[in-house]
Structures are given as C-alpha cells and as structure tokens.
Amino acid sequence: MNKLTALVGAALFILNSVNAYAASPDVYVVKFRADNCQSCDVMETQLHFAMRMVNSRAVAEIVIDTTSPILWEKSAHTAFDRDIVPQFNKWVGKTGFVAVIDAHTRLTIGCVSAQDSAYNMANFIKSAAGLPSDYQVSNRASRFRCPPAQNIDYGN
C-alpha cells in the first residue's frame, strides 16, 4: 500500500510540474494605474479590448495599482512574485501606460499607452508573445518606447 501511495504521489507531483510549466506565460502585460490617473480609463478600455483580441494563455496581465497604500503594497508583492521588481521600482507611481515584459528573461520589450489603439496594442502584444498577428510589429519601433523612469537611484 505504501508503494502504491508513493507512486500515485510521485505521478501527481510530476503531472502538476508539467502543467505548471506548460501554463506559464511568455509575456507579462503590466498595467500601471491609479484611480486619480486621467488617461487610465481610456488606456484600460483599449487594453481590455486588446487582451480579448490576444486571448492566449501565453500572455498574463498584471496590475500595478498605486491608488492607496494597501494596493501599492499588494502590487509590490505581485511584482516580487512575478520577478519584475526592476520594472516595478523604475515606474511605480507613474500611471497610464502598459509595459510588455518577457516572462522568461524579465526584459522590457516595450510599452503602450492610451495613444495606441486596441488593435495596435493587440498586435504588439501578440508579436511580443510570438503569436500570429495581423502584421509584424517591430519591437524596436519608437512608438512602443517606455516612459522615462519615475524613480532613479543615483547611488553614492
């Protein structure tokens, strides 16, 4: 009986490990927002439609909300859990844009904002995730540049 229990336990562990790896996203879409952000409503509406167009498990949406100290702390924990602390530290407090981050290398691919249409957002996110898109988007395009850092550590 102990051998059977051990075999079943090992099989479940392996099955869970394989499923966890297969379900891991390729790209994080990190939305920086706050309730007092004037352009956030437009950006969030467009992002909502863009994410519906993307509709893939290869893309995970993360919200960094700095509306209140509690949401700020929750966002910090989310950034830590997803290992995107450098981007969190760089832009926390700046709102109204979305950073697209490679989930494996943790490098920022580019950013979109309310100035981008839902269609352009979707194609940029699809391109970043390696998904088929309506047209190829250059990740080096100047229109997908991220805002300057909100928080800069100049060191000693």
All structural domains of the chain? 25-144 (3.40.30.10)
Contacts of 66 (CB under 8 A, 6+ apart): 32, 33, 34, 72, 75, 92, 93, 95
Burial group, residue 75, by CB count within 10 angstroms (0-12, 13-18, 19+):
buried
- φ/ψ of 51, rounded to 5, equals -65, -30
Label the pairing between strands 97-102 and 108-113. antiparallel
* pTM of the full structure: 0.78
By percentage, how much of the chain surpasses pLDDT 90?
Answer: 65
Distance in angstroms (rounded) separating the CA atoms of residues 103 and 32: 17
Which secondary structure element, helix H or strand E, spans residue 112, and what is its range? strand 108-113
Q: What Cα–Cα distance (Å) separates residue 13 from each residue in 4, 9, 73, 81?
A: 14, 6, 32, 22
Joined together, the tokens standing for residue 90 give 């760089």
Over residues 135-141, the mean pLDDT reads 54
139 and 128 Cβ atoms separated by less than 8 Å: yes
What value does the mean pLDDT of the chain take? 83
Say yes or no to pLDDT of 12 above 50.
no
> What pLDDT sits at residue 135?
62
Question: In one letter, which amino acid is 44?
Answer: E
For 31-82, give the secondary structure using H, E and C.
EEECCCCCCHHHHHHHHHHHHHHHCCCCEEEEEEECCCHHHHHHHHHHHHHH
Over residues 61-76, the mean pLDDT reads 95
